[in-house]
């Protein structure tokens, strides 16, 4: 008979202490081990005496996926145990506690909504880069480190691109938590990363309004209604919500995955650049769609069996890269800026759905207060922004895929690197001036970015010489 967890139980060197939490499918225990000084917890599935297939398969999935994940946004796994004695997962204890109590205080001040949303989206972007779709994102499944990072837990319903999907193979019913489940999940699709973006939209709606967009459905029949029934616009509930934030929320909640954000990185970029969010009709809505509109949508959606088949997670991310273009706007840099524009235009022929983020850096002094104007009293930040937009005139992209940012800092290379990391950028494109003795011995901005950036870097020279990293 399988072993049951209890205080004082020893298994594989781990000793169970106090039970910390009892959930619907598992219990969480405090645990110690003589070889590990860090605080740890053990998760043990609640397996009933009869057939409990979904719990067993889900825990197998969680064991397979969680041991392959790394980084600050997931718990570090210390050990796992098989079903022959007692299945378990031992991981580090996350020191900042659960996100749910904060969520339950919603609506939050708008500044807090944006800060929390940015941390959640950053965590999901990191998970997707590891080719995993969570598929059960909800406030209970986010923890927080004291250092600020959001940590996702409970991967029992998740899907890894390079592992067999045991849940899809063995069960035909939709799986997920009903208030947060995406329409395509209701249609039994488990391979679309945009399902996680829908769940983020639900949580962002809740943080901003104090409600969930479709209430608290208890049955799949109630979940099905979100295929045709739109939620009440956030600004109808809380008028102080800005139009750009409503645009972000309702875009994430689009029924058709193709009309949502196509990656968490793109969603994070809009949250970080509210002034450049392109507003559509949904940004101005103050009431739900009319019943005639809903009826027309119902006639179409009641027959749908599946949306377009998505690519793998890696392929989906590759189709929608965020590319930072660092532009030198000095007069002597004009030939290089022109070569850079031509290079970006060529890249868009290969990556037609890319988002281009144009940046320029104002170098500031290390000590003292910098003057933000030139000798004629013109605001340098505004001037550079105007110049950036003029530089990008020849790049044929819709406004929502072309943004402009002027950075400031004593170290231009570091400013570009930090901006790229903060915004989950996939590639940096920048120019490099000709060789010189000074650059050879002191280094250059482009060399620094190539050496330290977390993403790919393409360096352009005049005459054009391509260096790929």
The dihedral over CA atoms of 355, 356, 362, 364, expressed in degrees to the nearest 10, equals: 40
- The stretches of 148-242 forming alpha helices (DSSP H) are 166-170, 183-186, 194-209, 220-224, 234-237
Residue 11: is its pLDDT beyond 90?
yes
Residue 413 to residues 283, 433, 462: CA-CA distances in angstroms? 36, 14, 20
CATH topology of domain 321-468: Rossmann fold (3.40.50)
Decide: 9 and 1 in contact? Cβ < 8 Å.
no
Strand partners, 42: 29, 90
- Check if 100-313 and 321-468 are the same fold: no
**pLDDT value of residue 310:** 79
Residue extents of the structural domains in the chain: 10-92, 100-313, 321-468
pLDDT tens by residue, 271-281: 999 988 989 99
Number of Cβ atoms within 10 Å of the Cβ of 369 = 7
User: Has domain 10-92 been given CATH number 3.30.200.20?
Assistant: yes
Span 130-155, pLDDT tens digits: 999 999 999 999 999 999 999 999 99
User: pTM, whole model, 2 decimals?
Assistant: 0.87
Please report, for residues 23, 71, 100, 246, the alpha-carbon distance to residue 271 in angstroms, rounded to integers and kept in the order given: 33, 22, 22, 11
What pLDDT, on a 0 to 100 scale, did the predictor assign at position 444?
Answer: 83
Residue 439: pLDDT band by 50, 70, 90 thresholds?
A: very low
Detail the DSSP E strand segments found in 23-97: 26-33, 36-45, 77-81, 88-92
Q: Report d(CA 378, CA 368) in Å as an integer.
A: 20
The per-residue pLDDT for 464 is 47
CA 334 to centroid of chain Cα atoms? 36
CATH number of 100-313: 1.10.510.10
């Amino acid at each position: 008979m399988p072993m049951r967890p209890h205080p004082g139980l020893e298994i594989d060197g781990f000793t169970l202490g106090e039970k910390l939490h009892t959930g619907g499918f598992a219990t969480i225990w405090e645990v110690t081990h003589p070889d590990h000084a860090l605080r740890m917890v053990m998760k043990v599935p609640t397996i009933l005496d009869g057939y409990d297939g979904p719990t067993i398969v889900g825990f197998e999935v969680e064991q397979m996926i969680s041991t392959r994940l790394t980084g600050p946004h997931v718990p570090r796994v210390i050990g796992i145990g098989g079903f022959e004695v007692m299945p378990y997962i031992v991981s580090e204890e996350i020191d900042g506690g659960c996100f749910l109590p904060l969520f339950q205080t919603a609506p939050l001040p708008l500044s807090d909504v944006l800060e929390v949303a940015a941390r959640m989206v950053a965590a999901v972007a990191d998970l997707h880069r590891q080719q995993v779709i969570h598929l059960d994102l909800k406030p209970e499944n986010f923890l927080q480190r004291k250092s600020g990072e959001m940590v996702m837990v409970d991967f029992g319903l998740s899907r890894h691109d390079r592992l067999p999907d045991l849940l899809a193979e063995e069960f035909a019913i939709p799986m997920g938590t009903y208030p947060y489940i995406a329409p395509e999940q209701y249609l039994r699709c488990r391979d679309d990363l945009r399902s996680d973006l829908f769940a983020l939209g639900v949580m962002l709606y809740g943080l901003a309004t104090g409600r969930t967009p479709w209430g608290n459905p208890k049955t799949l029949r109630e979940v099905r209604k979100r295929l045709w029934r739109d939620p009440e616009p956030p600004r109808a509930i809380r008028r102080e919500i800005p139009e750009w934030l409503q645009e972000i929320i309702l875009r994430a909640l689009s029924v058709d995955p193709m009309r949502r954000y196509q990656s968490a990185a793109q969603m994070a970029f809009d949250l970080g650049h509210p002034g450049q969010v392109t507003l559509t009709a949904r940004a101005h809505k103050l009431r739900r769609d009319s019943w005639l509109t809903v009826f027309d949508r119902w006639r179409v959606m009641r027959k749908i069996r599946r949306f377009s088949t998505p690519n793998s997670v890696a392929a989906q991310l590759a189709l929608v890269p965020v590319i930072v273009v660092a532009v030198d706007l000095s007069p002597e840099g004009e030939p290089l800026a022109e070569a850079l524009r031509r290079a970006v235009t060529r890249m868009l022929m290969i990556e037609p759905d890319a988002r281009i983020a144009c940046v320029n850096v104002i170098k500031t002094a290390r000590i003292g207060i910098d003057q933000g104007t030139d000798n004629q009293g013109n605001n340098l930040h505004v001037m550079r922004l105007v110049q950036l937009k003029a530089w990008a005139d020849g790049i044929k992209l819709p406004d929502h895929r072309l943004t402009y940012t002027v950075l400031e800092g004593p170290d231009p290379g570091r400013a570009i690197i930090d901006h790229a990391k903060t915004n989950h950028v996939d590639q940096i494109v920048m120019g490099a001036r000709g060789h010189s003795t000074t650059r050879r011995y002191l280094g250059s901005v482009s060399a620094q970015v190539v050496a330290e950036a977390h993403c790919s870097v393409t360096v352009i020279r005049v005459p054009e010489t391509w260096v790929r990293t």
